[in-house]
Amino acid sequence: MRSTSAPSLVLDRVSAGYGGAAVIEDVSFSVRSGEVACVVGPNGAGKSTLLRAITRDAVLISGRILLAGEDISETAGNDLVRRGLAWVPQLDDVFPILTVRENLELGGYSLDRRRMRARVEEVVAIFPLLSRLLGRVAGQLSGGERKLLAIGRALMPGPSAVLLDEPTAGLSPEMTQLVLNTHVEELRQSGVAVLLVEQRALEAIAVSSEVHVMVDGRLRVSKQARLLTDGEELARLFLGE
Amino acid sequence: MSAATQLYLATVSVYICVNVIASWALDIQFGVTGVLNFSFVVFQAAGAYTAAILSLGPSSSSGGFQRYVGGWRLPFPVPIIGAMVVGAVLAGVVGLVSLRRLRSDYQAMVMLVVSVIATIVAESQTGLVNGVAGISLVANPMVSLIHATRQTQIWIFVLFCVFCMALVGVVMYATVYSPFGRVLRAVRENDRAIEALGRNANRHRMQAFVIGGALAGLSGALLVEFIGAWAPNGWFYPETFVFFTAVIVGGRGSLTGVAVGAALVGVGVQQAVEYLPITLNPSVIASLEWIITGILTLVFLWTRPQGLLPERRRRFPTPWRSDAPELAERSAATKGDERG
Amino acid sequence: MGVLMSAIGFGIVTASILAVSSVGFTLQFSVTNVFNLSFGSVMTGTGFIAYALNTSGVSIWASMAIGALCGGVISVALNWLIFGRFIRHGISRFGMVIVTIATGLICDNTIQAFVGPTFYAYNAQPGKAFNLAGMLLTGQELIIIVIAAVMMTATHVGLKSTRLGAAMRGLSVNASLARACGVPTRRVVAVAWFASGVMAGIGSVALFLDTSTFAATTGSQFLIMVIAAAVLGGVGSAEGAVVGALVVGLATEITAAYWNPELKDVVAFVVLILVLLVRPQGMFSQLSSERTAVG
Ligand SMILES: Nc1ncnc2c1ncn2[C@@H]1O[C@H](COP(=O)(O)OP(=O)(O)OP(=O)(O)O)[C@@H](O)[C@H]1O
Ligand SMILES: [Mg+2]
């Protein structure tokens, strides 16, 4: 049934960089609605750059990016959210000088005022931990609290595709479980296409349906997750064989 | 040649020498080492006042119509050397206060404010350097040194200026293109990396700052001995900007380039405006010079940030472009921005 | 006591003028991260626009309002024509200082070429003086204080409780995330420049009324005081700028009353240098100093 749903986010031969030479080259894959795809790979492989190419924070050199069938390669960065794309960056994922509530509200900037208010309540209901933090300044949150806020903020507009850049970095094993097994899973079940970048490859693969291994800016392997549960094979792929 | 033409040519020559020395002085601070010294002209002024005070004698001797501290009548090269020493010492003091690891725009601010404070103090403490009126009657040292016609004395002074410029040039080339110069450039490009190698970036900044201060003092001394007078409105803080423009137009870090820039901007712009085929009132002429200087700066920063004759060692990215990650972030940020 | 109270009175007037100007300066800085050294020229420009209106019969307060709007437009235009382009061209912070200074010089001297080196004065009556607890303030000065108070309140409310305000504050700390939230960054940046120009305009007319005469260089001379107040409070913090303005305003006027009027600016500048060296983030700023410029 899953395989019949149309691809939501499609990358077609994407090369991107930061004004100089390409950092990632010729990357193609797609993520369907209600599916989690994860990108794993060593540090500096270009995983964050891949996400930034989608969000227009890196320079798209060539290739196309489609969201729900529409080409968004030329869409302005601040219009992507209206097309249904949400992004949780690896670092600087919240506005530290704003309160938690203001962070959420700014996340819903593309909504109208009434909808935004209502949506804050809905997001807080998804992340009950945030409810008692609403008045706190985001810069004072703990790492885990901050990450939940960052994800909550990204969910504010009700996106159809979510990009998560190492959402579990620095989190305790329990929080990691909460984020991957609960929140990412809930997102998937609600029909969102999730593109997950992770260092914790095994945990990520456990919640994903497709796995892409990126080494040196290129996709080395793309496989269905259930065919790739063997740690040893993964290690070989990381080393680039 | 008529006396007037000769004086005109001599004046232009002295101004070129003085501006070249001063621009080199700023170049070693800002071009080579990366210190945004927006109080540069203060060091030139300090040199000029020192040379004046060391050659005029006590202020009572000239009938007391001008007041200043000290006052000695010292023989020829001493006032000039004194000016260099004062320029260097003052640079040391200002450097101690301002050369910290600070955002470059904040550091520029500190320097700018130092410049404004210096002007206010010089103007309001009239006993210091004769306030707003400034010090005048400084004599060309060749007058008492050489028995000749006035014309010859002037030309000998011009030769002396050329000699000073050549000497400074030799020293500058030896410094800037030496291993020491490479360290200074490295401080400009990446002070953290320099410190990781166990060197003290601030000490190197200070060295460049003091060398520049001494040379600025020299340029002030030569100028005051030629034109004979020095007053606060000649070294108001925007004057520093002329030297910045010279460095930018010529090519930051490139000595030959900066010399060309100094001649073009410091003297050329002024001459060009004076010879405009329309009659303008003098204050408009002055404004026009500033406008042209400002526009030159913007045009060069936009189209040719490396200057007319770029720095030879091109291992570094263009200094005006931000370091790679910063640039990338921004260009990416812009690309991704909404249109219009 | 009499001297002190009247110095405090003058200090509050100076602080009001400074507060409006430095909040404008700091607001634009916090959003765009451009340390705008041409702000003084915008002040001068609007001051002269108000002068042109005022001498052709418009009341001084109406001239102030129209001048302020023109200031906003000029400020947006400068960003559109020069600053924004240089930022997108990839200029370093280093180069940006020089760009704003060059722009300021060009503007100041263009004004100077038209108005000449003479001094001007508005056609306005200071009004009768009121004695408030020993502070002698003219009606004009009271109006200036009220305008400043209203502007400050409006800025505070605007930043703290409107969507645009939240967008501005968000943009000031993380432009790329703000964009990902759907904030039209260029438009918000333009709004910041506009607000800064408006405040420059109000500040300049108030300043020129207060100093009673002005010339083409008055704005740029005042700029360093503006920056002193902004930096003291922490560049980028509007509340900080208000506190900074009070400190600088009172310190300068008390110096003038008790010590030497010629040195009153020096006090402000020494304070500025000390703050820059000892605590460059100022007293209130929450901005990091490692941000990049936004155009
Ligand atoms: N803003 C930038 N400007 C220039 N180069 C960059 C920038 N960001 C990253 N890079 C470079 O691009 C390459 C890929 O970086 P990227 O952040 O995409 O790696 P990553 O796979 O996300 O690594 P990690 O697992 O450590 O987060 C690296 O060599 C990095 O140095
Ligand atoms: Mg990464």
Residue C294 is assigned to a structural domain of this protein: no
Q: Which residue has the higher pLDDT, C60 or A238?
A: C60
Q: Is B304 within 8 Å of B261 (Cβ atoms)?
A: no
CA distance B21 to B28: 11
What pLDDT is recorded for position A221?
80
The SS3 of residue C35 is: coil
Average pLDDT of the segment spanning C34-43: 94
Q: Which residue has the higher pLDDT, A25 or B101?
A: A25
* Residue C177 to residue A55, Cβ atoms within 8 A: no
Going from the first residue of chain B to its last (340 residues), give the mean pLDDT of each consecutive group of 10, the final group possibly shorter. Answer: 88 96 96 93 97 90 81 91 97 89 79 90 90 90 86 93 97 92 89 83 93 97 95 93 96 94 91 82 88 96 92 56 39 38
Provide CB contacts within 8 A for A236, sequence distance 6+.
none
What pLDDT is recorded for position C1?
62
Average pLDDT of the segment spanning C268-290: 70
What pLDDT is recorded for position C290?
56
Sign of the torsion angle spanned by Cα atoms A27, A33, A35, A38: positive
What pLDDT is recorded for position C286?
54
Provide CB contacts within 8 A for C258, sequence distance 6+.
C3, C7
Q: Tell me the residues of chain B between 265 and 284 that have a Cβ less than 8 Å away from chain C.
A: 281, 283-284
Query: At A103, which amino acid appears?
Result: N
* Residue B319 to residue C276, Cβ atoms within 8 A: no
What pLDDT is recorded for position C282?
66
**Which residues are registered as beta bridge partners of A32?**
A7
Which protein residue's CA is at the shortest distance from atom 3 of ligand 1?
B325
Exposure string (b/e) for B151-175, b if CB count within 10 Å is 16 or more?
eebbbbbbebbeebbeebbeebeeb
Confirm or reject contact between B323 and chain A (CB < 8 A).
Answer: no
Residue C241 is assigned to a structural domain of this protein: yes
Mutate to test the pocket of ligand 1, among A18, A48, A197 (most ligand atoms within 8 A of CB): A48
Residue C285 is assigned to a structural domain of this protein: no
CA-nearest residue to A88 within chain C is: C177
Q: Is the pLDDT of residue C287 over 90?
A: no
How far from A14 is each of A22, A58, A219, C279, CA to CA, in Å?
Answer: 10, 12, 11, 46
CA distance B134 to C23: 38
Least confident of A180-194, B324-338, C215-229, C257-271: B324-338
Total structural domains within chain C? 1
Average pLDDT of the segment spanning A29-37: 93
What pLDDT is recorded for position C135?
84
Q: What is the mean pLDDT of chain C?
A: 90
Distance A28 CA to ligand 1 centre (A): 19
Element holding A122 (H helix, E strand): helix A113-126
CA distance C172 to B102: 20
Helix then strand then coil, in percent of chain B rounded to 5, is: 70, 0, 25
Ligand 1 within 6 A of CB of B333: no
Average pLDDT of the segment spanning C251-271: 86
* Ligand 1 atom closest to B327 (CA): 3
Distance B271 CA to ligand 2 centre (A): 57
Q: Is the pLDDT of residue C165 over 90?
A: yes
What pLDDT is recorded for position B324?
37
The residue among B318, B28, B45 whose CA lies nearest residue B173 is: B28
φ, ψ for residue C74 (rounded to 5)?
A: -60, -45
Q: Can you give the CATH number for the domain in which C90 is found? A: 1.10.3470
Ligand 1 within 6 A of CB of A155: no
Instruction: Please give the model's pTM, rounded to 2 decimal places.
Output: 0.89
Distance A50 CA to ligand 2 centre (A): 9
Counting ligands in written order, the one closest to the CA of A22 is: 1
What pLDDT is recorded for position B333?
40
Residue C48 is assigned to a structural domain of this protein: yes
Q: Is C89 within 8 Å of C211 (Cβ atoms)?
A: no
Confirm or reject contact between B314 and chain A (CB < 8 A).
Answer: no
Distance A234 CA to ligand 2 centre (A): 19
Q: What is the mean pLDDT of chain A?
A: 89
CA distance B329 to A175: 31
What pLDDT is recorded for position B334?
41
Structural domain range at position C89:
2-278
C9: its two tokens: 């009175």
Ligand 1 within 6 A of CB of A23: yes
Provide CB contacts within 8 A for A135, sequence distance 6+.
A99, A100, A101
* Residue C90 to residue B330, Cβ atoms within 8 A: yes
Confirm or reject contact between A91 and chain B (CB < 8 A).
Answer: no
What pLDDT is recorded for position A240?
52
CA distance B80 to A209: 80
Confirm or reject contact between A20 and chain B (CB < 8 A).
Answer: yes
* Residue C182 to residue A89, Cβ atoms within 8 A: no
The SS3 of residue C16 is: helix
Ligand 1 within 6 A of CB of A216: no
What pLDDT is recorded for position C295?
62
Query: At C34, which amino acid appears?
Result: V
The SS3 of residue A64 is: strand
How far from C3 is each of C14, C135, C136, CA to CA, in Å?
Answer: 16, 9, 11
